[in-house]
Structure 1
């Protein structure tokens, strides 16, 4: 099984119990350093870990989670390597909270582009592993929509953001994600921004609040127990 390289930012404040965990999944051709640039601006209570994709594109080309064919705007995931990546990531995430002494009930996934597809795939295939997912400029990497048991995903919070001028992953693909999730009993927040294949500053502000709200809600629920 492939070894996944990581970067971490440990919680910056003391907490009564195990901290919430945020797992970052980069896009095609990037690496674990990319999304980690967000870490200083995210809630200090999170233990943040950023993962490198398992498929190397060469020393100057970064990494990917799976092979993509086609061209920007019409990228076609390779089914075999995508399925393999999902298995590898599932295994890695299964015991990650225990290895990091984090709260297994509060693991969130943040994925950009191809990483967004991976985050969605994991949440829908193994919803018991995660509490929520943020998908930035992402897509559903399969023509066949996943078969999901509604009760299994009822607890999930989903944030989906996309650029209306995205020439790499069209906004139509972001809307496909939205439309699919609207058919499930998840707590969905969806927004579009006038940008290309990137993260909008207003969208990042929404992401920050959304993540903080997830922690606040779970801490309040724990106090009420």
Structure 2
């Protein structure tokens, strides 16, 4: 299978490994270090200490998350979590302990401008092409920095977010699908201005998850239909999922995201 990330994505990190030696991944090691039922929670996540953010930054790095039983030889999937104006900005420890405390590395970003917008407590993500390009550059730089310290699997970098952050995750993914393995959006209404992507061969290897509460007053079933149409037209492997509840990021959603990701990893490793 072709690489989802250009080889020069991590050119800033001389020590980054692009070839994955997974010979040590015995069944016993996997059960001990990954997918472990009832794994102990990681109580704290790490504040990412990168370079100072530029004044015109679109997003700001919030936290990074590393599994307690981190294994340097294993190339970990990376979740890039975008905080929304309405998700309460949970810590990455709380998000990852619910999703999986052991299976992934993670980074979180918040909107750089936290001044209130309308009745919201936080600013929403910008949607201009300039902002998207600029934010992609920020993500690239930050992931390269993380990759110089930890073993990131370059074919398994996933964007995720709730409401407007979910829409931003999908926009970023569609802008540079060769950089990411896929994206997950929760409680995300379909934007009024959304360009329909071209059907590209690279999109056929990608996976997208769109999930919402069945009683969600913000993201309706009609929004789910619109997302389905746009991603099916682009040739993406789309999964849609309804959960009991309203407009919320529920533990059930995060647990399902872990199941969705693991199923994709298993599918990638199958030999046909």
Instruction: Give the TM-score range, shorter chain.
Output: 0.7 to 0.9
Match of 2:66 in 1: 10
Match of 1:65 in 2: 125
Residue 93 of structure 1 deviates from its aligned partner by 1.9
Match of 1:88 in 2: 134
The structure with the largest helix share of the pair is: 1
Q: Contact conserved, 1:158 with 1:188, CA < 8 A, in 2?
A: yes
Larger Rg: 2
Q: Contact conserved, 1:15 with 1:45, CA < 8 A, in 2?
A: no
Equivalent positions of 1:110-129 (< 5 A) are 110-129=160-179
Change (3 A) 1:111 1:169: same
Change (3 A) 1:30 1:42: closer
Change (3 A) 1:131 1:86: same
Match of 1:150 in 2: 200
202, 207, 214: which one aligns with 1:164: 214
Residue 213 of structure 1 deviates from its aligned partner by 2.6
Cα deviation code 1:114-141 (max 9, x no counterpart): 0111111011111011001111111342
Consecutive unaligned residues of structure 2, counting only runs of 5 or more, are 1-55
Consecutive unaligned residues of structure 1, counting only runs of 5 or more, are 67-80
Match of 1:77 in 2: none
97, 100, 112: which one aligns with 2:143: 97
- In 2, distance between residues paired with 1:87 and 1:198? 29
Residue 156 of structure 1 deviates from its aligned partner by 0.7
Residue 202 of structure 1 deviates from its aligned partner by 3.9
**TM-score between the two structures when normalised by the length of structure 2:** 0.66
Q: Contact conserved, 1:97 with 1:103, CA < 8 A, in 2?
A: no
Q: Contact conserved, 1:136 with 1:161, CA < 8 A, in 2?
A: yes
Change (3 A) 1:34 1:61: farther
Residue 158 of structure 1 deviates from its aligned partner by 0.9
Q: Please report the RMSD computed on the Cα atoms of aligned residues, expressed in angstroms.
A: 2.6
Name the SS of the counterpart of 1:33 in structure 2. coil
